[in-house]
């Protein structure tokens, strides 16, 4: 049949119309996609464990409508033990005579070391459109929201915003991704630069410390250490006996104080153990 028309009143059943002809009313008026102003546009959310939910929404694909009027729970297969995989949450329009319906389901991906998104069926009367992809890491026990990549509004599953109008956000997503990659690259660069500067400073400080240590320990190491110990012992003995230290005196500007003959004046610092006199309420040395 090359020419069809409709709809006309039926006389004695001579004008009968099927679903294809009814749907054809909207061909060229409504483009394929998810209605942006109905429900929550099939938003896919993680629930717990391997469970997810698909929110309320309405779509038009392949001259067929599909409507989800309540939160739809779905359960994904458990993750693989060794390999990762990517699952897809899809709207499926099945025009086979044995099915003749639309559905929302999870398409299990193929496990691999570099997993790919499952291919969407576009033939044999079965047509699939991705609502989201789920990244299933090997050994994971639960799906998180971070594992879910929404495809609603992209070119593979666009929004219907009005008659003869569809909108996809591929350009917006690409811009966000580019901005994120630029920000991340700059942060990594800055972190690498700061780490390099810190390492260089630590190296310089270590080399300076080691150089000082070499000067201190050059020659007979044991003898040098012994001499330093002896000097400390002598100093301690002086303090222990005399309880005093003699040092050159300096004024407030740090200059040495001299007497009228030009001799440097020494000051004496006395150390002692103080006791508290309960009667006089004073400290005594």
Looking at the structure, tell me whether residues 97 and 188 fall in a common domain: no
Give pLDDT tens digits for 17-49: 777 777 776 676 678 899 888 899 999 999 999
Residue 153, CA distances (Å) to 71, 83, 185, 247 in order: 20, 30, 28, 83
- Is residue 201 one of the residues assigned to a domain? yes
Across the range 258-273, mean pLDDT stands at 72
Give the confidence band of 84 by pLDDT, cuts at 50, 70, 90.
very high
Task: State yes or no: pLDDT of 273 exceeds 70.
Answer: no
User: So what's the pLDDT on residue 168?
Assistant: 61
Q: Which residues are CB-neighbours of 40 under 8 A, at least 6 positions away?
A: 55, 56, 57
Give pLDDT tens digits for 96-113: 888 888 999 999 999 999
Looking at the structure, tell me whether residues 257 and 188 fall in a common domain: no
Looking at the structure, tell me whether residues 71 and 139 fall in a common domain: yes
Residue 193, number of CB atoms within 10 A of its CB = 10
Looking at the structure, tell me whether residues 93 and 116 fall in a common domain: yes
- Is residue 23 one of the residues assigned to a domain? no
Looking at the structure, tell me whether residues 152 and 257 fall in a common domain: no
User: So what's the pLDDT on residue 249?
Assistant: 76
Of the ranges 25-29, 88-92, 117-121, 201-205, which one carries the lowest mean pLDDT score?
25-29
User: So what's the pLDDT on residue 281?
Assistant: 61
Looking at the structure, tell me whether residues 91 and 137 fall in a common domain: yes
CA–CA distance, 60 with 66 (Å, rounded to integer): 6
User: So what's the pLDDT on residue 114?
Assistant: 93
Looking at the structure, tell me whether residues 107 and 43 fall in a common domain: yes
Mode of pairing for the β-strands spanning 266-270 and 57-61: unpaired
Across the range 12-17, mean pLDDT stands at 81
User: So what's the pLDDT on residue 36?
Assistant: 87
Structurally, how many domains does the chain consist of? 3
Give pLDDT tens digits for 122-156: 987 899 999 999 999 999 999 999 999 999 988 89
- Is residue 21 one of the residues assigned to a domain? no
Identify whether the C-beta of residue 78 lies closer than 8 Å to the C-beta of residue 111.
Answer: no
Across the range 8-25, mean pLDDT stands at 77
Q: Does residue 168 or residue 195 have the better pLDDT?
A: 195
- Is residue 3 one of the residues assigned to a domain? no
CA–CA distance, 89 with 143 (Å, rounded to integer): 13
Looking at the structure, tell me whether residues 38 and 160 fall in a common domain: yes
Q: Does residue 32 or residue 210 have the better pLDDT?
A: 32
State whether residue 48 is helix, strand or coil.
coil
Domain extent for 256: 219-284
pTM: predicted TM-score of the whole model, two decimal places: 0.56
Looking at the structure, tell me whether residues 160 and 174 fall in a common domain: no
Give the confidence band of 69 by pLDDT, cuts at 50, 70, 90.
very high
Looking at the structure, tell me whether residues 192 and 146 fall in a common domain: no
Looking at the structure, tell me whether residues 88 and 134 fall in a common domain: yes
């Amino acid at each position: 049949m090359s020419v069809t028309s409709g709809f006309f009143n039926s006389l004695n059943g001579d004008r009968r119309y099927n679903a294809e002809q009814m749907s054809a009313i909207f061909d060229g008026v409504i483009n394929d996609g998810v209605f942006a102003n109905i429900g929550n546009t099939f938003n896919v959310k993680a629930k717990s464990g391997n469970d997810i939910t698909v929110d309320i929404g309405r779509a038009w694909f392949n001259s067929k409508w599909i409507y989800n009027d309540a939160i739809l729970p779905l359960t994904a297969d458990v993750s693989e033990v060794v390999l990762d995989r990517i699952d897809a949450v899809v709207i499926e329009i099945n025009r086979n005579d044995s099915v003749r319906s639309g559905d929302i389901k999870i398409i299990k991906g193929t496990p691999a070391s570099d997993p790919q998104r499952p291919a969407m069926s576009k033939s044999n009367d079965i047509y699939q459109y991705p609502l989201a992809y789920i990244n299933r890491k090997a050994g994971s026990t639960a799906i998180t929201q971070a594992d879910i990549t929404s495809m609603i509004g992209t070119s593979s599953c666009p929004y219907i915003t009005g008659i003869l109008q569809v909108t996809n956000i591929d350009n917006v997503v690409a811009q966000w991704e580019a901005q994120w990659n630029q920000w991340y690259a700059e942060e990594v660069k800055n972190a690498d630069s700061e780490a390099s500067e810190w390492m260089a400073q630590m190296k310089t400080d270590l080399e300076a410390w080691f150089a000082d240590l070499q000067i201190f320990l050059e020659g007979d190491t044991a003898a040098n250490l012994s001499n330093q110990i002896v000097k400390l012992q002598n100093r301690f003995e002086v303090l222990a006996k005399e309880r005093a230290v003699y040092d050159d005196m300096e004024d407030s500007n740090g200059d040495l104080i001299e007497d009228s003959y030009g001799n440097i004046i020494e000051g004496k610092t006395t150390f002692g153990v103080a006791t508290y006199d309960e009667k006089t309420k004073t400290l005594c040395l």
